[in-house]
Structure 1
Amino acid sequence: MKPCQLTVPGHVRAGENVIEQLSGIIEAERASKVIVFTDEGVLSTGICNGVFEQIKKANAEYCVIGDLRPEPSTQDVIRTMEQMNRAEGELVVAVGGGSVMDMAKLCAAMKGASYDIYDLLENNSLMEKGLPAVMIPTTCGTGSEATFNAIVAVPEKSVKTGIVNKNMLADYVLLDGNMIAKLPPKIIASSGVDALAHVIECFTSNKANVFSDLYAAAGAKLIFENLVRAYSDANDLQAKSNMLLAAFYGGVAIAASGTTAVHALAYPLGGKYHIAHGVSNAILLAPVMRANLEACEDRLALLEDGINPAGYGRAQSEKAKGMIERIASIVSDTGIPSSLCEFGIGLEDLDFLVDAAADCKRLLDNNRRVLTKNDIRAIYQEVIKGGI
């Protein structure tokens, strides 16, 4: 067994109505004032009302940073840190999707710091432990609640990049299916396939290990069994709760292993063309796995065995191809586009995309197959020409 490490948030609680345990967390942290991170969309649904009630139940006050934007940029971090440094509080509570949780983790660690976001982009190790943080996800995909990563867009370079530091690891995670009960099908689809990308990539990563394999395989099984149900039936709370758990498993797998070429090729799509992260990953997941097939056949076959044990007798190559077909089917069944043409991206954009993706060396180094620029170009061509 090669050396590996399992790093998870300090306290993880899952189940119906676990949000009601927030007041006890606030009391345990002796927080008299709480800083709540969220966005306008989440606020408009009323989901935060239960959080506010729990804060009041703990006899604490709160302030809300509620104008967070999707796919946050460096300028968004600077603007939010200005609010954060004006706020008083001993505890951060994030209520939202990946962008909200990433911003909350960053800002909790940076409160009062001498360094800024640009310093961290140059040297992640500068980050120190800041305020304790509670993550309450309201989507079922990013796994941000379980990771010590934060993704930030750098507009001047038209790319997104990851800041990675264990001081961003959440102190508490609350996984309550009621928080995604009214999530629109479109968001269930994109966030759910994002979680699928996490578990597939981590299982096929060069850094895959016994810990990441455990969570990635369990997450993959949950997603294949529950995503279409959660997408199709607004009342299937069990399927949605299972997807919330699967997304967390994906986050744990990322922390133990790491994503690969799917995310490397997806980052330029979000950084320059502002395609939602989950959608970018969904479009690229099957094509990248087809490109990786020869190098990942054994790993994809193992995943297929976990989903379809009745097929044990098939050849390894058949099982691996079956897994890729299963991935393509779930993207199609949840109504996610299969081509970049739908977002106005054409062959004339190839040079930028290829160069930007090739710069994501941290992720490409995790990929089992070494992808040349020509390989990357071929993958992009496939997902562009698919719509022509």
Structure 2
Amino acid sequence: MSGLDRPITLHQPRRLEIGAGSARTLGDWAAGARRPLVIASGPTEQYVARLNLPGDVQVIADVPPEPDLPAFEAVLERARQIEPDLVVGLGGGSVLDIAKLVAAMWDGDQTLRDVAGPNKVAGRRTPLAQVATTAGTGSEAGIRALVTDPETKSKIATESPHLLADIAILDPELTYSVPPAVTAATGIDAMAHCVEAFTNIRAHDLIDGYARMGIDLVGRYLKRAVEDGTDTEARSGMMLASYYGGICLGPVNTAAGHALSYPLGTRLSLPHGLANAIIFPHVLAFNQSSRPEKTGEIARALSLDAGDLLTSAHGFCSDLGVEMRLAAHGADRETLGDWAAEAHAIRRLMDNNPRDMSVDDVAAIYQAAY
């Protein structure tokens, strides 16, 4: 299957810095900034000094995991009081998504619901730097941002070139302190981005190249990064895999795997990476019959047994220390049918899946993961 005849648009940050110590280069790039605003989470605030930012640096360091609309609005209001001339995201995917939206919206009157969907963000944008501290979402590479709607427990998705970073920084030293279990889950999330784009009905040969490179890097480096958090080569490899996954999200996006993971995040408050890790083996195996050749490539890159893919992929994740049972995370078996209907309704992703998946199919996957 080739997608070469399908027009796509590929967006990437204007500048990318990658390598040990690269966070320190941000100060030179940001020379002249008078009121930089760093948006972080509690654990990532410790890295603000490494950025060498000029001016009167302001920090908002309480972005929660999986932020909802009120949390975003609180950050946006504080940013409007600060009136920054530079916005810096310093953290994992949730922090980077909030930073994108703040940079694009603080100096205007649009609400998040106004900009939900594609290409609704007004053209004004404060300069934006994205400094990743995990290797998972690849948010630093892309033009999408997700915030949870507290009323529907679904994701409000915004997509716009105005959310793209002016500079992205991948410094493996900032990921040394990420615990093994989080390293594993976020690494599987990065892999899922690549895998779901690679097997997607909207797959494109250009994006396939990035997906293949990302999957290969995960196969080579994720286990090493989990076993030794200070393995700089492995951490660098995983940050690059995550970045490649972020590139895949732009013109192709994910599919059923992410659709099934979202209710786990909103209903169980599971981190996004963990939710995707739990679902990944099941959807990979479900789609195998529709994408046998590409699934074979994935299996080889990850040293999986294509003949018993579900068991092998499940073992790949659990051997990294991921707790794969929904029951262990507080799920109630009686609610799984409702979650299945909710996931099935996320058509922006489900419609990308290479094999049609019914509500009963989704429910069966949740039951198998229970």
Measured against the shorter chain, the TM-score band is: over 0.9
Query: For 1:199-210, what aligned pairs fall within 5 Å after superposition?
Result: 199-210=194-205
1:183 to partner: Cα distance:
1.8
Q: Aligned pair 1:151/2:143, yes or no?
A: no
Which residue number corresponds to residue 85 of structure 2?
90
- Closer, same or farther in 2 for the Cα pair 1:242/1:287, shift >3 Å? same
CA distance in 1, matches of 2:260, 2:302: 27
The answer to whether the Cα contact below 8 Å between 1:143 and 1:252 also exists between their aligned partners in 2 is yes
Gaps of 5+ in 2: none
CA distance, structure 1, for counterparts of residue 93 and residue 144 of structure 2: 10
Gaps of 5+ in 1: 309-317
Question: Which of the pair is proportionally richer in helix?
Answer: 1
Q: 1:39 aligns with which of 21, 24, 41?
A: 41
How high is the TM-score relative to the length of structure 2? 0.94
Q: In the alignment, is the contact (CA less than 8 A) between 1:5 and 1:211 conserved in 2?
A: no
1:337 shift after superposition: 1.3
Residue aligning to 1:261 = 256
CA contact (8 A) 1:134 1:173 kept: yes
**Residue number among 1, 8, 11 corresponding to 1:7 in the alignment:** 11
- Alpha-carbon distance change, 186 to 304 in structure 1, aligned in 2, over 3 angstroms: closer
Match of 2:186 among 171, 188, 191: 191
Query: Does the 8 Å contact 1:268/1:357 carry over to 2?
Result: yes
Distance change (3 Å), C-alpha of 1:377 and 1:307 = closer
1:117 aligns with 2:112: yes
What RMSD, in angstroms, separates the aligned Cα atoms of the two structures? Answer: 1.7
Question: How far is the alpha carbon of 1:306 from its aligned partner?
Answer: 4.9
Equivalent residues of 1:298, 1:320 under 8 A apart: no
Residue deviations 1:133-192, cap 9 Å, x none? 111100111101011111111111122242222211111101111111222112211111
The within-5 A match list for 1:1-388 is: 1-2=4-5, 3-27=7-31, 30-43=32-45, 46-51=46-51, 54-56=52-54, 60-121=55-116, 123-129=117-123, 130-306=125-301, 320-321=306-307, 327-384=313-370
Counterparts in 2 of 1:172 and 1:255: CA distance versus 1, 3 Å:
same
Aligned equivalents of 1:361, 1:288: Cα separation in 2: 16
SS at match of 1:256: coil
Q: Deviations over 1:333-359 (max 9, x none)?
A: 211111111122132012320111011
1:155 match: secondary structure: coil
Separation in 2 of the partners of 1:321 and 1:100?
A: 40
Q: Which amino acid aligns with 2:35?
A: K
2: CA distance between counterparts of 1:261 and 1:345? 20
Letter in 2 for 1:47: Y
Deviation at 1:299, TM superposition (A): 1.5
Identity value in percent: 32
Change (3 A) 1:135 1:319: same
Corresponding pairs, count: 365
| Counterpart code for 1:221 | D
Contact 2:257–2:283, Cα closer than 8 Å, also in 1:
yes
CA-to-aligned-CA distance 1:106-133 (integer Å, 9 cap, x gap): 1111112221012223x54321241111
Distance in 2, matches of 1:323 and 1:91, equals 47
Tell me: CA distance 1:305–1:190, structure 2 relative to 1, closer, same or farther (3 Å): closer
CA contact (8 A) 2:38 2:48 kept: no
**Alpha-carbon distance in 2 for matches of 1:321, 1:113:** 55
Structure 1 counterpart of 2:13, one-letter code: P
Distance in 1, matches of 2:12 and 2:115, equals 22
- Of the structure 1 ranges 146-155 and 299-308, higher mean CA displacement relative to structure 2 is found in 299-308
Q: Is the Cα–Cα contact under 8 Å of residues 16 and 169 in structure 2 kept in the other structure?
A: yes
Contact residue 301 and residue 323 of structure 1 kept, 8 A: no
Q: Could you report, residue by residue, the CA deviation over 1:248-294 in whole angstroms, capped at 9, with x for unpaired residues? A: 11101111311010100111111122111111100100111111121
The one-character-per-residue Cα deviations of 1:303-324 (angstroms, maximum 9, x if unpaired) are: 345566xxxxxxxxx9744665
Task: Rate the CA distance shift 1:334–1:284 in 2: closer, same or farther, 3 A.
Answer: same
Give SS of 2:131's match.
strand
